[in-house]
Amino acid sequence: MEHFPKSRLNQAQIDKEDRIHTSINDFNEAKQVIAGGVNSPVRAFKSVGGTPIFIQKGQGCYLIDNDGNAYIDFVQSWGPLLFGHSDDEILQAVQESLQNGLSFGAPTRAETQLAKAIITSYDGVDKVRFVSSGTEATMSAIRLARAFSGRDDIIKFDGCYHGHSDSLLVSAGSGCATFGTPSSPGVPSDLSKHTLVARYNDIDSVQKCIEASGQVGAIIIEPIAGNMGLVPAEAEFLLSLRKLCSERGIVLIIDEVMSGFRAAFNGVQHFVPIEPDLVCFGKVVGGGMPLAVFGGRAEIMDMLSPQGAVYQAGTLSGNPIATAAGLAMLKKLAKDKGLYERLESLARRFVSGLESSAKAHNIPLQTQVRGSMFGFFFASKPVKNFDDAKSADTAMYARFHQEMLQRGVYLACSQFETGFICAPMSEAIIDEAIQAASESFAFIASERA
């Protein structure tokens, strides 16, 4: 029997000895009709152990499961919920849009308004195209980059994840790294042979790939990698990459599906003055709804059908409900000038608390913060690439995750993911999570003694 903390929202006494956590039954039922019991692999808790909790609702910075237990949520739907769950203004925008219909398969003014909001926020973007997922955005951007450059080969970086399209499931991070399969069965070798894999934060490895191929048309990178854990690219590396692409006529695709409008309002550009040829956004720009974007220089984007010959389409692209949520999100972000500074302060408070608690029990820990994003590894040296990330103690992460969950703190269910702070969090809530971490480290240390 698994026992979880009683709800912070319902303080009625619960006899933990008699209560059976219903997520076990929910998961068993799901496995009968859903492949693996989940609709995205990392949700299955395979890398951290135990049974995934089934969620009833989200409220502010909390997730509430089917038993009414509340958890401080540091996942925030894997990033998009800067204002937490069930934000009143975003919900209102969605509800108002709902009155007009769910989907039209035709243009709306809201699409144009959201496109303008994105373009004015990010240097180097002249035009955009909406899609429904980050995978669609990166897949389409690569097709467009190949057409523009006239070359078939692309370079990605070991540990960076750009969705599950065939060309990109080569040495991927995130879910693939979690299960120890850096590429997926079912990906034809004729496709994967056009994908070269370079070492993150190593410009020499990029140059070697370019020379080995002779036909590199595009390079795609997460400038703030979030799918091997949080591993930001070094400024010198990014600027060297930009220079190299410009010199060689290679299209530089910056994947900010996770970090765009998340790490900062203008993503990586807040930290490094770099302009892409193409950029991909997702998560935050949909306000929690399925929506993503790719965009960039006009001369490249104008190659898209119907203006150009590069085909891309989607029935639900620019869906009115998703664009309403995205517009409401970006409007709130534009109004709250001090938001990112507050969220970063909370992120640093949390990782500082983790560091202190781990050190008190002689547990090696490396931490990283980028705006409202944070990450940590149980490792003795800084993590700068995927090899470093893989050398971290994933068994310790799993054990820590289990103990934190028991104490009402919901962390990413994989070492190779990133944590997120949201606006409803406060110093008091962060301190509560730090206390849970301190108790967890103490319990783990006692097991080892």
Strand-pair partners of 366: 377
Among candidate residues 71, 161, 200, 340, the one labeled active-site is 161
Q: Which residues sit opposite 280 in a β-bridge?
A: 255, 294
- CA distances to 133, 189, 195, 406 from 186, rounded to whole Å, are 21, 9, 15, 38
Distance CA 144, CA 134 (A): 15
Dihedral sign, Cα of residue 172, residue 175, residue 180, residue 186: negative
Contact at 8 Å (CB) between 332 and 90?
A: yes
| Residue 228 neighbours by CB under 8 Å, 6+ apart | 159, 160, 161, 173, 174, 177, 200, 386, 389, 416
Euclidean distance between CA atoms 263 and 197, whole angstroms:
25
167 contacts 188 by C-beta, under 8 angstroms = no
Choice among 6, 46, 156, 283 that is catalytic: 283
Q: What is the DSSP letter of 110?
A: H
Reply yes or no on whether 397 is catalytic.
no
In 3-state terms, what secondary structure has residue 407? coil
> Catalytic annotation on 331?
no
Query: According to DSSP H, which parts of 169-279 are helical?
Result: 174-178, 189-192, 203-213, 235-248
From 26, 65, 73, 255, the catalytic residue: 255
CB neighbourhood size of 12 (10 A): 7
Q: Would you report the helix, strand and coil content of the chain in percent, each value rounded to 5? A: 40, 15, 40
| C-alpha to C-alpha distances, 21 to 5, 179, 302, 384, nearest whole angstrom | 11, 26, 54, 39
User: Residue 106 gets which letter from DSSP?
Assistant: S
Contact 23, 44 (CB under 8 A): no
Contacts of 141 (CB under 8 A, 6+ apart): 220, 253, 278, 280, 294, 296
Paired residues of 419 in beta bridges: 374
Establish whether the linkage from the previous residue to 232 is cis, with ω within 30° of 0.
no
User: Any catalytic annotation for residue 410?
Assistant: no
Residues labelled as active-site residues: 161, 255, 283
